[in-house]
Amino acid sequence: MVKEALSSDMRVVRIIRKDEVGEAVMSRISALNTPPPVLAVVEKRDAPVPPEPSGLCLALDSIRDPGNLGTILRIADWFGIDTVYASADTVEVYNPKVIQASMGTIFRKRPVYCDLTSVCESFTSNGMEVFGTFLDGDDIYSCALPSKGLIIMGNESEGVSSAVAAKVTRRLTIPSFAKGAHAESLNVAVATAVTVSEFRSR
């Protein structure tokens, strides 16, 4: 991750090495159970301004778990998602667990915190669809999916909020193939990976 920071456009203020400061000092300044051999102090960038709607984008509606946000950013980076929007109550991007779960993606891609209903309206007014993930949506494996649009991923326990759901133009679901009793739902980061992969495979 330190290498990722050094190769990014973010300003690295200082590099701290365990063999220079000692394990005791590294343990005090690190958030990890086992202190790493090197740490970087990196200056935060200003919050990005919401861009004009284009390409395939993600919108995160009240994602509260930092591990999920970091993983979703990593997924977006892997699949070449243009922009990741996030509601104001989504977990803060500089939470240490978000940074750790992003595995360096944080230095290339950060969420744009904004009003998601306005973002949805911007996409539809520009002739693009807004997709939402729901338990009662259309089977994602049998749907025709475009290369552009906005994909909404909802809160871990409550799903997409009613205000944002009202702006969705197409409801999708990832069907379960299990017979009999099965898991109630997928983790939101896993669901994001499956959903984005389907969009990119068409």
Full residue range of the structural domain in which residue 193 is found: 56-201
Tally of structural domains, the chain:
2
174 in a structural domain: yes
**N- to C-terminal Cα distance for the chain?**
32
Domain membership of residue 47 (yes or no) is no
User: Do residues 78 and 156 share a domain?
Assistant: yes
Q: Are both 20 and 71 inside the same structural domain? A: no
**Same domain (yes/no): 107, 146:** yes
Q: Are residues 15 and 81 in the same domain?
A: no
Amino acid at 153: M
- In a domain, residue 51? The reply is no
Number of other CB atoms surrounding residue 83 within 10 Å: 22
* Local confidence pLDDT in tens for the 202 residues of the chain: 999 999 999 999 999 999 999 999 999 998 888 889 999 999 998 877 788 899 999 999 999 999 999 999 999 999 999 899 999 999 999 999 999 999 999 998 889 999 999 999 999 999 999 999 998 899 999 999 999 999 999 999 999 999 999 999 999 999 998 887 677 788 999 999 999 999 999 8
User: Which CATH number do you get for residue 119?
Assistant: 3.40.1280.10
Check whether residue 33 and residue 122 sit in a common domain: no
Do 36 and 80 lie in one domain? The reply is: no
What's the whole-model pTM score? 0.91
For residue 10, being part of any structural domain is answered with yes
21 and 62, same domain (yes or no): no
- Nearest CA-CA partner of 148 in 169, 166, 134: 169
